[in-house]
Amino acid sequence: MTSFAADRARRTTQVDRWLAELLGAEPGVALVAVGGYGRKELLPRSDLDVLLLHGGRDDIAAIADRIWYPVWDSGVELDHAVRTVPQARRMARADLKVALGLLSARHVAGDPDLTERLRAGALEDWRSAAPARLAELHASHDERTRTSGELAFLLEPDLKEARGGLRDVHAIQAVAAAWVAPAPGPKVRTAYEQILDARHALHEVTGRRLDRLVLEEQDEVARALGLLDGDVLLRMLAGAARTVVYAVDHAFRQADRLRGQRRLRRRRAERRPLADGVVEQDGEVVLARVADPAHDPTLVLRAAAAAAQAGLPLAPRTLDRLTECPPLPVPWPTAARDSLLSLLGAGQAAVSVWEALDTEGLVTALIPDWERVRNRPQRNPLHTFTVDRHLAEAAAHAAELTREVARPDLLLLAALLHDIGKGWPGDHSVTGEVVARDVGRRMGLPAADVDLVASAVRLHLLLPMVATRRDLDDPVTVKQVATAVRSRALLELLHALAIADGLATGPAAWNDWKATLVADLVGRVAAALDGDPMPGPAPLREDQLALAAAGDPAATVRGSEVTVVAPDRPGLLWRAAGVLASHRLAVRSANATSIGNIAVTVFDVEPEFGDPPDAALVVADLRRMLMGRLDVEDRLDRRARAARPSGAAVPAPKVTLVDDASDTATVVEVRAHDAPGLLWRVGRALGECGLNVRAARVETLGAEVVDVFYVTDGDGKPLAGEDMRRATTHSVLAALGDLTPNRWSGHNSRAAGSGPDPGTTDRSVAWCCV
């Protein structure tokens, strides 16, 4: 790649000489270059940042005129100031931009002592006020990120202002000047030169002082740099920007620590467990002392999911240690898949965690095909982001739509993979289906789920295409889409995916106009498709049937499977879940069914942390509960700790009553973000409405829960009255609304029983219903 460094140095020397001539021999006066000119980085169209420094001369105005006028006349943009050393220092103390400019002050002509006094004074001021100044610097960085976005992922990035751009390197230098972090290392300096050269070429090519690398200039700029084309240029810039971002984040963390030191000194560093082997410390996610990366392949995703769900960053040293993790076995264990889904389900919080993993090469270790879309630009006026970032953004938007689909887990995966085919030649929907199928199998998804994800990837453009280009009133249009989609489950997925994809593409790709058309199409196609049957409880195995036939209350634990058999009575399901929760067992799924008057409930559980509890103790407690000799609520109450708000913003829960799914019961479907106490509260809410749960299927998909309850009223009939139905929906929603993500004793329980709210609980009611 062509370097323009020599050109910049030559231009700087020429300007230095010219200004020195203009100043001539004047005592007690100095010309000082600041900002970019101070750093000897004069690009073809850069303006000159010059400070005329003096010791209090009365005739300084005449000297200034002598210098500024010829510069103005030459057409060069001039940013000028005339000050004494104390004035300049005062200005810098009041204005961050001035202060940063002075950090790169350089003597050009006149009295060198004057310049030296300014340099030393400005540095002294900067260091003595470092905590406040660095906080200001950090805030300005955040503001720039908000307005200019991130260089690495934008298709038309601002090379100077965007996150990862030139200003961020200046920020690192400023933090270093305060002796808080080391100066930029060789990798960052190389990255800086690459971005600076690109900006140089942009000035050269356009003949204007531009910072934003717009699409139409990219090929030309690439040629000026000796690169093949705009795509190569953008990939190079993305790599450079990622290096800068990593360094600037580190510098700001050091700076924040300096600021926090005084405040933190009083209390000890607190470690809060987030997941097995993962804790929070000082606002970062780090590994617990017991964690063993070298022998724990699922730790990467577990730590990432915990970080995203808590809305915290992974500490750099933790990321570093995570690279020691062995690769995941293929197919992935269920725990790894759940963690990935929990990570993606965190929405926007997941994007930065995903980027952090990617910087360490951990994403390509998980999904090798990711390498082909990494930093890949797209030539398309609709798109805002590179392909990899677009995929992460689409998954984040999909997380907002998890309540709209029966399979939130498959929606998140489809969103993450929908454009993965763009790494290959040909129609990306077609190549994407092949890749998605392969990735789905590697992840260990059941064959039917692999099919759904792969079909969603293949058809992800179908709905927007047809909705905007075909006659929706024509029955043939609807029939063709219905034939292609075949099931409502896939239609739902495609609808949510179209929205997530559109929102992640850019403002031009999705709006109300398009949303209305797509929704209209979806409504028509849905009417043409048969509804999918509601999932009922899974059939029982021989041994479970035998237990039920014996008719005695019984509880068994076999591996991760807990079976509870008892004469049917209200409250069995959720009280049993409460017992499991009290043993720190998270309910991943539950199946409740009854044979005659014997209820059989099968739970699939996993321990929250470390080793599973003693099965004998769990069985003993379940038996005591069945005999009515264990007050689970009381036990969980004592466990309950103050609620800690989760960092991830999750969509509101959704409760739907479905009538045509069963003749003998009303089906209540609950979709919500998983939280401790969910099953407990939903069950109790149904009970408070006087309903009995005849059967249930509870499933945790990543961090999302889809629960289906078959309920009847007090007379054993489906819910009839509209008032009754509305009251049921309301009370379940109200119960879910109470669900702040509680964490007991710092532990994070997944699906069952947190402390119920004593103020709203009538225990006798809670006991005899459900």
- Closest to other proteins by CB, 324 or 471: 471
Distance (Å, whole) CA 338 – CA 537: 21
Q: What string of DSSP letters covers 69-130?
A: HHHHHTT--EEEEEEEHHHHHHHHHH-HHHHHHHHT-EEEEE-HHHHHHHHHHHHHHHHHTH
Comparing CA positions, the residue from 111, 275, 237 lying closest to residue 743 is: 275
Binders in 693-712 for other proteins, by CB under 8 A: none
Among 470, 569, 623, 644, the residue binding other proteins under the rule CB under 8 A is 470
* Least distance between other proteins and beta carbon 472 (Å): 7
Q: Residue 26 corresponds to which tokens in the numbers above?
A: 């004047």
Size of site (CB under 8 A) for other proteins: 13
Using alpha carbons only, how large is the chain's radius of gyration in Å? Answer: 32
Binders in 485-524 for other proteins, by CB under 8 A: 511-514, 516-517, 520
User: Burial, 567: exposed, middle or buried (Cβ in 10 Å; 0-12, 13-18, 19+)?
Assistant: middle
* Least distance between other proteins and beta carbon 482 (Å): 17
Q: Which stretch binds other proteins (CB under 8 A): 455-463, 467-475, 571-579, 716-724?
A: 467-475
- Closest to other proteins by CB, 473 or 611: 473
- Closest to other proteins by CB, 58 or 216: 216
- Closest to other proteins by CB, 362 or 525: 525
- Closest to other proteins by CB, 520 or 614: 520
Among 81, 335, 472, 484, the residue binding other proteins under the rule CB under 8 A is 472
Distance (Å, whole) CA 363 – CA 165: 24
Q: Residue 429 corresponds to which tokens in the numbers above?
A: 């929907």
Residue 96 binds to other proteins (criterion: CB under 8 A):
no
Strands 284-287 and 554-558, how do they pair?
unpaired
Q: Residue 419 corresponds to which tokens in the numbers above?
A: 């454009």
* Least distance between other proteins and beta carbon 140 (Å): 38
Strands 48-54 and 78-84, how do they pair?
parallel
- Closest to other proteins by CB, 472 or 615: 472
Among 59, 124, 143, 471, the residue binding other proteins under the rule CB under 8 A is 471
Among 13, 74, 147, 468, the residue binding other proteins under the rule CB under 8 A is 468
* Least distance between other proteins and beta carbon 516 (Å): 5
* Least distance between other proteins and beta carbon 541 (Å): 51
- Closest to other proteins by CB, 206 or 334: 206
- Closest to other proteins by CB, 489 or 521: 521
- Closest to other proteins by CB, 488 or 514: 514
- Closest to other proteins by CB, 56 or 523: 523
- Closest to other proteins by CB, 517 or 724: 517
Strands 666-673 and 704-712, how do they pair?
antiparallel
How far out from the chain centre does Cα 296 lie? 23
* Least distance between other proteins and beta carbon 511 (Å): 7
Q: Residue 229 corresponds to which tokens in the numbers above?
A: 């084309």
* Least distance between other proteins and beta carbon 405 (Å): 24
Binders in 564-623 for other proteins, by CB under 8 A: none
Cβ–Cβ under 8 Å, residues 105 and 122: yes
> At CB < 8 A and 24+ separation, what contacts does 454-457 make?
455/490, 456/410, 456/411, 456/414, 456/418, 456/490, 456/493, 456/494, 456/497, 457/414, 457/417, 457/418, 457/420, 457/421, 457/429, 457/432, 457/433
How far out from the chain centre does Cα 223 lie? 36
* Least distance between other proteins and beta carbon 513 (Å): 4
Q: Which stretch binds other proteins (CB under 8 A): 116-124, 219-227, 466-474, 488-496?
A: 466-474
* Least distance between other proteins and beta carbon 203 (Å): 24
- Closest to other proteins by CB, 474 or 757: 474
- The amino acid present at 79, given as its one-letter code, is D
* Least distance between other proteins and beta carbon 515 (Å): 9
Residue 473 binds to other proteins (criterion: CB under 8 A):
yes
* Least distance between other proteins and beta carbon 466 (Å): 9
Alpha helices in 265-380 (DSSP H): 299-310, 316-322, 334-344, 348-359, 362-366
Strand-pair partners of 696: 592, 709
* Least distance between other proteins and beta carbon 475 (Å): 12
Distance (Å, whole) CA 483 – CA 487: 9
* Least distance between other proteins and beta carbon 519 (Å): 10
Distance (Å, whole) CA 216 – CA 200: 16
Q: Which stretch binds other proteins (CB under 8 A): 468-476, 532-540, 703-711, 737-745?
A: 468-476
Binders in 413-442 for other proteins, by CB under 8 A: none
- Closest to other proteins by CB, 13 or 516: 516
- Closest to other proteins by CB, 321 or 470: 470
Cβ–Cβ under 8 Å, residues 354 and 314: no
Q: Which stretch binds other proteins (CB under 8 A): 24-32, 281-289, 470-478, 544-552?
A: 470-478
Binding mask 313-342 for other proteins (x = CB under 8 A): ------------------------------
Distance (Å, whole) CA 26 – CA 66: 12
Cβ contacts of residue 242 below 8 Å, gap of 6+? 152, 164, 359
- Closest to other proteins by CB, 471 or 530: 471
* Least distance between other proteins and beta carbon 453 (Å): 29
Q: Residue 391 corresponds to which tokens in the numbers above?
A: 């995929």
Query: Can you state the angle between helices 447-458 and 488-505, rounded to 10 degrees?
Result: 50
Q: Which stretch binds other proteins (CB under 8 A): 369-377, 465-473, 588-596, 749-757?
A: 465-473
- The amino acid present at 361, given as its one-letter code, is G
Residue 289 binds to other proteins (criterion: CB under 8 A):
no
Distance (Å, whole) CA 215 – CA 6: 27
- Closest to other proteins by CB, 467 or 496: 467
* Least distance between other proteins and beta carbon 470 (Å): 5
- Grouping H, G, I as helix, E, B as strand and the rest as coil, residue 670 is strand
Strand-pair partners of 668: 657, 709
* Least distance between other proteins and beta carbon 13 (Å): 41
Site residues (CB under 8 A) for other proteins? 468-473, 511-514, 516-517, 520
